[in-house]
Amino acid sequence: MSLETVSENRSFGGTQGVYRHKSQATGTDMTFAVYLPPAAEDGLVPVLWYLSGLTCTHENAMTKAGAQQWAAESGIGLIFPDTSPRGEGVPDDDAYDLGQGAGFYVDATQDPWKKNFQMWHYVTHELPELVFDNFQLDREAQGITGHSMGGHGALTIAMTFPDRYRSVSAFAPIANPSQSDWGRKQLTAYLGGDESAWAAHDSTLLMREKGYKGEILIDQGTDDQFLELLKPEALAQAMVARRQPGMFRMQPGYDHSYFFVQSFMGEHVLWHAERLY
């Protein structure tokens, strides 16, 4: 696949780039960002995928999460995909939580979404092949994290491909979407009314079924305005019941914003770096 460079900027001794390509999975142009630390000048470096939340593009975390400094110091690359296909002719909805900006990291099977909304395949297959063919990133040393809808994506993907991702973490993930209004609406629209098809995209259900072979790190703010939609207690209980190694931390006073993500991004990058090197 051909790759178009949108921009490249020096950042903490490395390079923050934004790129565009024609996606076969979504049938649209897709934009994503890659940060290469200074260590990439000397060879392959581990990589941390960051999946963003509702209404976001690649740009939100790239500019607001404060990850580049920590990645530069740790010697790991960062990948920021978009959250959905976009453009003229791509289905959308008037609500902010369905359609463009709200792909939920699933492969839609229902009209009108199935033609373009193949975000699971895009993030787990198509985009990895593209970036590993074009950048100094080590496909044998991958970690994944994300915020909100992206935390949902990171956890479900890591538990589905445990041998691919050496590390996983999440910021305020949508933890039990099959039992939440941030989930039931979208899973019905994208996957249909058969709830058995939803189980592969619910981290609480996956935790009960299989868990993750390594440790998991999750941070959740106690003052998050969306706690009733995120349902962190369901995932925490599933982790305890499974005796899943890791940490589920309730952070006093933090909300759902990128100020929360910024505050703990350094700890998450270091968590991944320790497991990727």
Is residue 256 annotated as a catalytic residue, yes or no? yes
152 a catalytic residue = no
The Cα–Cα gap between 23 and 85 comes to 9
Q: In this structure, are strands 45-51 and 77-80 parallel, antiparallel, or unpaired? A: parallel
**Of 42, 30, 44, 33, the residue nearest 11 (C-alpha):** 33
Q: Which of 84, 148, 180, 203 is catalytic?
A: 148
Per the CB < 8 A criterion, the answer to whether 150 and 53 are in contact is yes
Assess whether 219 carries a catalytic annotation. Answer: no
27's CB contacts (< 8 A; 6+ apart) are: 85, 115, 116
Of residues 82, 107, 202, 224, which has the active-site annotation? 224
Do 203 and 154 contact (CB within 8 A), yes or no?
A: no
Catalytic one among 147, 152, 256, 272? 256
Residue type, 73: E
Strands (DSSP E) contained in 148-274 are: 165-171, 216-221, 246-251
- Residues that are catalytic: 148, 224, 256
